[in-house]
Amino acid sequence: MVKIYSKGCEYALRVLTRIPLNTPDQKFLAVDLCRQARVPIHSSRKALQLLVEHQYLEAVPGPGGGYKLKRSPAKITLLDIIETIDGEDTFRQCIMGMPQCGGHNPCSLHAAWSRMKDGMVKEMRSKTLKQLMESTQRKRNIKP
């Protein structure tokens, strides 16, 4: 099984898609969205903090604080989120886990993985958080 991104990244994506589309600039409580997304809050906080550090989210301090999007969800790509949480080298690693794999010393799956990976990265670069939010909320029968 190929693992495209970490469990923490999966949780963050599931949480972010629960931000209401009609008020994306309003603050939200991570605990509420984690409950809706059915993900553990303690496992999601680290990913959310990384998104704060990289200026995708803003932490709202104080009583009744929470988070809010710092950028428009139409300007945040799936690739932005994955690389922020899992690292920019996420898709540069060998699919077989061989550290010496590369153009000069390819593993047996290098060429096939490179082609698949390139298409996948292109798709992730074109898919926005807003699109993910719309799709998730449409499936849940929530009007944006």
Alpha carbon distance 71, 120 (integer Å): 24
Q: What is the pLDDT of residues 53-80, one digit of tens each?
A: 999 999 998 887 899 999 999 999 999 9
Q: Is pLDDT of 1 > 60?
A: no
CATH number of the domain within which 38 lies: 1.10.10.10
Whether 15 is covered by a domain: the verdict is yes
- 144 located within any domain: no
Give how many domains the chain has, as a whole number: 1
Angle at CA of residue 113, ends 112 and 117, nearest 5°: 125
1 part of a folded domain = no
Expressed as residue numbers, the domain containing 77 is: 7-139
Query: What's the whole-number mean pLDDT along residues 117-127?
Result: 94
Please indicate, yes or no, if residue 71 is contained in any of the structural domains. Answer: yes
Q: Which residues contact 68 (CB under 8 A, 6 or more apart)?
A: 25, 26, 27, 28, 57, 58, 60
pLDDT tens per residue, range 74-96: 999 999 999 999 998 888 888 88
Q: Is pLDDT at 2 greater than 90 in this prediction? A: no
pTM: 0.86
Residue 144 has pLDDT above 70, yes or no: no
Is the dihedral angle over the CA atoms 50, 78, 69, 12 positive or is it negative?
negative
Q: Chain-wide mean pLDDT for the chain?
A: 89
Q: Domain for residue 2, yes or no?
A: no
Query: Helical H runs in 56-96?
Result: 78-86
103 three-state secondary structure: coil
pLDDT single digits (tens) 13-27: 999 999 988 877 789
Question: What pLDDT shows up at residue 125?
Answer: 96
**Which one is predicted more confidently, 138 or 112?**
112
- Assess if residue 127 is contained within a domain: yes
Assigned domain for 90 exists: yes
Under the banding of pLDDT at 50, 70 and 90, the label for residue 142 is: low
